[in-house]
Structure 1
Amino acid sequence: MDPTPPTLYQRYQPWRRSLEIGFWVVQYLVGALANSITVNMDVRRLHLGFSAWQPAAWEISSAATALALVPAVVWFTRRFPLHLDDWRRMLPLHLLGSLVWSLLHVIGMVAIRKAVYAGMGESYDFGSWWREFGYEYLKDVRSYASVVLTIEGYRLVLRRLQGEAMLLSLPDEGPPVEPVDRPERFLVRKLGREFLVAANDIEWLQASGNYVNLRVRGHDYPLRSTLGGIEAKLDPARFARVHRSYMVNLDRVASIEPLETGDARVHMQDGAKLPCSRTYRADLRQRAGLEG
């Protein structure tokens, strides 16, 4: 039997990190270059008397600082994702995030400009901090929103390519076919199609922000839940917690490797190596019936 051809999502994975980083670098680099050119054109047209290097210093310092802040926004949106079903609850946190973004952005770009101006034998004056920061924040809040929406939109596309898992809903009429407190199957939606995944086919689970990735036959299906929430719905005789961020299907554990730290490494039948905290190590070995 011919092996199943890799999906678009799987083919994208080797390039993913490089393309993600490249996207932000190119975006800010091109933006800084384009803005430097247009600002220099305005300077000459209005006879403002600035040297050509000054607009370049302004734009590059702003772009470089914003680029350095992108990883922090990626982390923040993973910790506090902004979705349609809870955007009202998350909006105040992101407004606070935009304020922090703007403050760090202004501090960073002013520091760079002062260093560049000093290197050119001149001094840089940002002006009144209260007035200028208010002006910068009006721009930065839009930039922050653009970065957040880009990140969340990109993650949405990835989830659609990867496939999203969800619990089966209660029927509109009559009793459910199976118990909803301990479902036997999960509904997976992928590129407009829906199919069922048996709970016992889940090999391991990993917490990722507000999602839990269900590992099934080499594919990860994110489920909107906490690991504790989904743990309560899985069969405790079959699934075991091994770490604050991981659970395993005991039938899919190949071996347990003890570590000098007192923790362990769980080798799964699919080749994955998962961390096991010392808190769960003894219980896992006993329940899995494995030594090592």
Structure 2
Amino acid sequence: MTGMENGTPAALPVPVAESPRRGLAAAFWSLLFLGTAAGNVLAQWMRALRDAQPFPAAATSIEEFSSALASLGLLVLLHAGARRWPLHADTWRRRIGIYVLGGVAWWLLHVSGMVLLRKLAFALAGQHYTYGDWPTQWFYEFFKDVQTYSLLVIAVHAAAWFGRQRQGEAHLLAPPDEGPPVEPVERPQHFLVRKLGKEFLVATADVEYAQAAGNYVNLRVRGHDYPLRITMAVLEQRLDPAVFLRPHRSWLINRDQLRSIQPLDGGEALLHMADGASVPCSRRQLPLLRQALGGAAG
């Protein structure tokens, strides 16, 4: 079982279901921030028109859109931080300090970014831009930025929570309160999935592969990812080693879903799965994988 040709290392695959959602999220946040900036420009123009005052359209547009663009750039970091340090009922006390420091970092980076954009835009127009006095102007922005940052943290985590509810979260079956378990709990044949208030069972044999994601492992089942709160090492112990192989420290695969192995320069490989995904295989694990497959990959 081997690939058709050698290739160069590819980026780690992203589950198919995530790409459209990320594209929609990026479009939503871009429309929100840029639309708000355009609305602020329009409001200031209408105020100037009402008061019969001159309206510096270019300067106002630069100031509003520079702030929006700086916020959009920082929002990427906020999303990454939310994935790395998610807030849950049992973790928020330990991680709240990280988000407090993140609020200070947001303020400093947002002001620095928008001022830099403004200076560049005004310089291109042959003008000079002065932001204002350090303590007064910067701390004026501090209170606005803290409010914006707090609302974004809530929104990002609320969206992540809703996404988990819609997509579903997997749980290991627990021993029953009374009577013997219907299957060995130490090596379950099913996972319990909770989705939008309903519960159903997913057969372990239907798991195509699993990827570590922070404190979770994402189980891939028929085009859907079900986050399971467990470490990859513990999950590996719970699954049947005759069925599930570990080609990489962050991945487990169902051998029945493996279609081909593509060797790469450096001794690594890409494993092509039945659903079209490509899973990395480390140089150390490749010989063990081939041995587990019975030496069929030559």
TM-score range, shorter chain: 0.7 to 0.9
Is residue 22 of structure 1 aligned with residue 30 of structure 2? Answer: no
Which among 32, 40, 45 is matched to residue 37 of structure 2?
32
- Tell me which residue corresponds to 1:66: 71
The letter of the residue matching 1:242 is P
The letter of the residue matching 2:167 is Q
Superposed, 1:106-255 pairs within 5 Å as 106-173=111-178, 176-255=181-260
For 2:189 and 2:166, locate their aligned partners in 1 and report how far apart those are by CA, in whole Å.
24
- Tell me which residue corresponds to 2:262: 257
The letter of the residue matching 1:291 is A
Cα 1:14–1:182 change in 2 (3 A) is closer
Cα drift, residue 50 of structure 1: 6.8
Tell me the percent identity: 48
| 2:193/2:201 contact within 8 Å kept | yes
For 2:116 and 2:18, locate their aligned partners in 1 and report how far apart those are by CA, in whole Å.
37
For 1:74 and 1:117, locate their aligned partners in 2 and report how far apart those are by CA, in whole Å.
31
Q: Which runs of 5+ in 2 are unaligned?
A: 1-14
Which among 269, 274, 297 is matched to residue 291 of structure 1?
297
Cα 1:16–1:227 change in 2 (3 A) is same
The letter of the residue matching 2:174 is S
For 1:100 and 1:50, locate their aligned partners in 2 and report how far apart those are by CA, in whole Å.
33
For 1:122 and 1:51, locate their aligned partners in 2 and report how far apart those are by CA, in whole Å.
13
* 206-215 or 10-19, which deviates more: 10-19
Q: Which runs of 5+ in 1 are unaligned?
A: 1-9
- Tell me which residue corresponds to 1:4: none
- What is the number of equivalent residue pairs in this alignment? 283
Cα RMSD (Å):
2.8
* 67-76 or 144-153, which deviates more: 144-153
- Tell me which residue corresponds to 2:104: 99
For 1:140 and 1:256, locate their aligned partners in 2 and report how far apart those are by CA, in whole Å.
50
Cα drift, residue 42 of structure 1: 4.7
Cα drift, residue 176 of structure 1: 4.3
Q: Higher relative CO (CA 8 A, sep ≥ 6), structure 1 or 2?
A: 2
Cα drift, residue 242 of structure 1: 0.8
For 2:139 and 2:108, locate their aligned partners in 1 and report how far apart those are by CA, in whole Å.
10
For 2:91 and 2:19, locate their aligned partners in 1 and report how far apart those are by CA, in whole Å.
33
Output one character per residue of 1:211-245: Cα deviation in whole Å (capped at 9) or x when no partner: 21112233322212232232232223332211122
For 2:169 and 2:245, locate their aligned partners in 1 and report how far apart those are by CA, in whole Å.
23
Cα drift, residue 115 of structure 1: 2.6
For 1:232 and 1:142, locate their aligned partners in 2 and report how far apart those are by CA, in whole Å.
45
| SS class of match (2:238) | coil
| 1:162/1:219 contact within 8 Å kept | yes
TM-score, reference length from structure 1? 0.84
For 1:108 and 1:227, locate their aligned partners in 2 and report how far apart those are by CA, in whole Å.
39
